[in-house]
Amino acid sequence: MRRIVIAGNWKMNNNLEESQNLISKLVEGLSKDKMNCEVIICPPYTSLSLSANLIKGSMVKLGAQNMYFEESGAFTGEISASMLKGTGCEYVILGHSERRSIFGEKDELINKKIKKALSSDLKPIFCVGETLAERESGVTNEIIKGQVHEGLNGLSENDLGKIIIAYEPVWAIGTGKTATPNQAQEVHEFIRKLISDKFSFAAADRIVIQYGGSVKPDNAKELLSQKDIDGALVGGACLKAESFLGIINAA
Ligand code: PGA
């Protein structure tokens, strides 16, 4: 049995006060329930330190939304893996489609970041996904295969054990259009097959593959009940404690 992992990607939202409010409600809501899934929040950099303090003693884990692959130096505006680690992060989202499309991140750069995260004892949540045009022209599998192969290039099976993959069809992110459970399951199964071919059956069987793209409390259960869907990477719905808790409860 694979574990279920629900992660909230806050994106560029929440100042310190808003972060504090959201986390307080979340932690309070969680302590009432028995949790049988792992919960991660990924606030913006400015709220990481505060968040690390607020989640102490709770089941919530901390992740960042991005990082740079160099250790330190003249990289204005960037944040290193060891800085994240030192702030209390356990996870880091890498290769999110917004990083790819708005900030021009390519597979090769994402691969460097994944390697640096791993060597710094951070667990990557590695995002892949096709655009609407790619899906409509029937090249979804080809795109996913390229992203998985290049993103995980040079990694060992042991490395893979520390990675979560998030399948996020770009056309479903922030649009309210969710992939149907079947559409999502199909790609998840394909990703697991790619991992099996590239690494091993055991590695594929173990790896957590999250779905992301307009996950809400009312569609979470159906998506999460698919055989190869092991969690969710949640954007919009993680910004309100009630809806994020709703998804966690569905899990
Ligand atoms: P969404 O975002 O839930 O708002 O679609 C998901 C994501 O970008 O990770």
Q: Which residue range forms the structural domain that includes residue 16?
A: 4-250
* Max CA separation in the chain (angstroms): 48
What pLDDT does 99 receive?
Answer: 98
What pLDDT does 31 receive?
Answer: 66
Whether 40 is in the pocket of ligand 1, judged by its Cβ within 6 Å, is no
What pLDDT does 32 receive?
Answer: 63
Sign of CA dihedral 11, 16, 22, 26: positive
What pLDDT does 176 receive?
Answer: 85
Q: Which residues of the chain have pLDDT under 50?
A: none
CA–CA separation, 41 vs 233, rounded Å? 10
Separation of 191 CA from ligand 1 center, angstroms?
Answer: 19
Separation of 156 CA from ligand 1 center, angstroms?
Answer: 29
Count up the domains in the chain and report the number: 1
What pLDDT does 182 receive?
Answer: 96
Whether 174 is in the pocket of ligand 1, judged by its Cβ within 6 Å, is yes
Whether 173 is in the pocket of ligand 1, judged by its Cβ within 6 Å, is yes
What pLDDT does 1 receive?
Answer: 83
What pLDDT does 9 receive?
Answer: 98
CATH number of the domain that residue 196 is part of = 3.20.20.70
Q: Around 210, how many Cα atoms within 13 Å sit in the side-chain half-sphere?
A: 32
CA–CA separation, 141 vs 40, rounded Å? 28
Catalytic residues: 96, 168
CA–CA separation, 169 vs 60, rounded Å? 26
Separation of 111 CA from ligand 1 center, angstroms?
Answer: 22
